[in-house]
């Protein structure tokens, strides 16, 4: 899932040209709603996480250190794929290098980064989340843990990209999670699912004298194929 155009451009963007103001406004409203949801659902504390969405060659991102309930339509923050700010006056999130690395390396349209409690705890214990549930298939397989690096650095972005190869999510050691998707809703839902799986594994692993039954990669792969047709069609 990390395979994509390495120049950071998408043929669909080239065909339709730059995003218009209405499209950007709708995308910003969706980003703000998603960011607020991460707080409401307990996936972040204060402003510790960040969210982005790509519209054409513009990446809208949450600003650094601003509570999400204070974000307004006029507070839009946008950068190009090099990180040059092209919209707004607020400083973009300090984790901008991670977000841009995902967009340059994949066809993702949205990225959600959190400091979710159970996922962060798991990141300190293992090198990848054990296959406790078949929904790992929706993330591409076993969720890896990217080695620790200081937040906001290129080193962290590089560690993250290595852990994201063929995956839609990874854990960041002693830090949190980063997940991407085709939409903000998909990226958020995958984030919530990852946190839930981490909680299940921690809960099952805490029973004295017992070890949780795990799935094989083949079993998760079979589930992943079935998940492609899940839900309503048309």
Q: Give dist(CA 200, CA 212) in Å, integer.
A: 10
From the candidates 3, 74, 95, 128, which is the catalytic residue? 95
Question: Among candidates 217, 121, 100, which has minimal Cα distance to 166?
Answer: 217
Q: In the chain, what is the straight-line distance between the N-terminal and C-terminal CA atoms, in Å?
A: 25
Widest distance between CA atoms in the chain: 60
Q: How far is CA 29 from CA 65, 76, 116, 157, 184, in A?
A: 18, 9, 23, 26, 11
Burial string for 135-168 (b: 16+ CB within 10 Å, else e) reads bbbbbbbbbbbbbebeeeeeebbbbbbebbeebb
- 202 and 176 in contact (C-beta within 8 Å)? no
> Per the structure block, which two tokens stand in for 213?
């039954």
Catalytic residue status for 158: no
Active site residues: 95
């Amino acid at each position: 899932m990390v395979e994509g155009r390495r120049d950071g451009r998408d043929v669909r963007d080239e065909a339709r040209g730059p995003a218009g103001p209405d499209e950007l406004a709708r995308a910003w409203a969706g980003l703000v709603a998603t960011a607020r949801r991460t707080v409401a659902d307990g996936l972040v504390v204060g402003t510790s996480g960040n969210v982005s969405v790509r519209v054409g060659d513009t990446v809208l991102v949450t600003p650094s250190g601003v509570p999400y309930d204070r974000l307004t339509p006029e507070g839009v923050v946008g950068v190009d794929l090099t990180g040059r700010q092209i919209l707004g006056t607020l400083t973009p999130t300090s984790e901008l290098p991670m977000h841009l690395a995902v967009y340059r390396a994949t066809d993702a349209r949205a990225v959600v980064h959190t400091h979710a409690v159970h996922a962060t705890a798991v990141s300190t214990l293992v090198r990848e989340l054990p296959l406790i549930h078949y929904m790992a298939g929706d993330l591409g397989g076993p969720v890896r843990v990217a080695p620790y690096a200081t937040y906001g650095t290129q080193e962290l972005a590089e560690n993250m990209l290595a852990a994201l190869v063929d995956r839609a999510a990874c854990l960041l050691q002693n830090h949190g999670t980063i997940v991407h998707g085709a939409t903000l809703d998909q990226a958020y839902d995958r984030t919530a699912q990852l946190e839930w799986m981490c909680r299940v594994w921690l809960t099952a692993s805490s029973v004295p004298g017992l070890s949780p039954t795990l799935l094989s990669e083949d079993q998760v792969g079979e589930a992943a194929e079935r998940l492609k047709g899940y839900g309503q069609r048309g």
